[in-house]
A = this chain, B = another copy of it.
Amino acid sequence: MRIRLVNPNTTESMTATIGRSAAAVAGPLTLVEAVNPTMGPASIESHYEEALAVPGLLEQVALGELDGVDAYVIACFGDPGLDAAREIARGPVLGIAEAGMHAASMLGRSFGIVTTLDRTVGRARELVQRYGFADVCSSIRACEIPVLELDDPASDARGRVVEECRRVLDTGADAVLLGCAGMADLCHWVSDEIGAPVVDGVAAATVLAESLVRLRLATGKRGEYAFPPAKEMSGLLAPFERGAVAVR
């Protein structure tokens, strides 16, 4: 079984972190590949960057279809391009926010989310509602740490993440979901610090994608998520016309 994790930004060190996090939980017979696009933003902290990350992400999915990939994970907490990727892939596609919320909701009555910048909270709330967790998610808190600072050893980022996780528990949550792919390797450490389950969306999406493949389940293709119709694509994005054709 081959599962491809697509980091939708172009920062390769983050792709490597994501790949390690996924490999640590994947089953013995599963090949996990972490990739990133060759185009787009270095990190995603605004709707503008999220929108511009999507073409490169879709290119990686289209390439995966040529390679016979069985399932995909979109490794950014805004779940960018999820619906479009579901249309062009044969197998299941999961966002890490989606997968993390599903996993966290099975650990008790409610969970909370700790994310990076305050400006990303709106998108997190939108996803909480779309996936059905509005009554289950007790709070969403930002720790005001830019994505790329999470890796900086000189930063007090880890301490601030723990502090916000504790505040989430104070709202009555049974578990905490980390709201950024860049937090993946903090997961077990934070859990030990706060004495409560902590979910990393990257790892959760990896095992849930594996699960769906083992269940022989994939996106339903009779309606909204049927392969897109053939369509003229022009200008800078003309290559995506071929891409779309290729995946069918």
Using CB atoms and an 8 Å cutoff, list the residues of chain A in contact with chain B: 10, 25, 27-29, 37-43, 45-52, 54-56, 58, 81, 83-84, 86-88, 92, 94, 98-99, 102-103, 105-110, 118-123, 125-126, 129-136, 146, 169, 172-175, 188, 191, 195-197, 199-200, 203-204, 207-208, 210-212, 214-226, 228-229, 231-240, 244
Contact of A224 among B52, B108, B146, B225 (CB under 8 A): B108
Contact B119 A237 (CB under 8 A): no
Copy total for this chain: 6
- A119 proximity list for chain B (CB < 8 A): 223-224, 226
Contact A211 B103 (CB under 8 A): yes
Measured CB to CB, the nearest residue on chain B to A30 is B27
Measured CB to CB, the nearest residue on chain B to A133 is B132
- A210 proximity list for chain B (CB < 8 A): 207, 211
Q: Which 9 A-B pairs have the closest CB atoms?
A: A39-B235, A174-B220, A132-B132, A47-B83, A46-B228, A207-B211, A122-B224, A42-B232, A47-B84
- A219 proximity list for chain B (CB < 8 A): 107-108, 174, 197
Complex formed: what's the CA distance from A48 to B46 in Å?
A: 20
Complex formed: what's the CA distance from A135 to B239 in Å?
A: 37
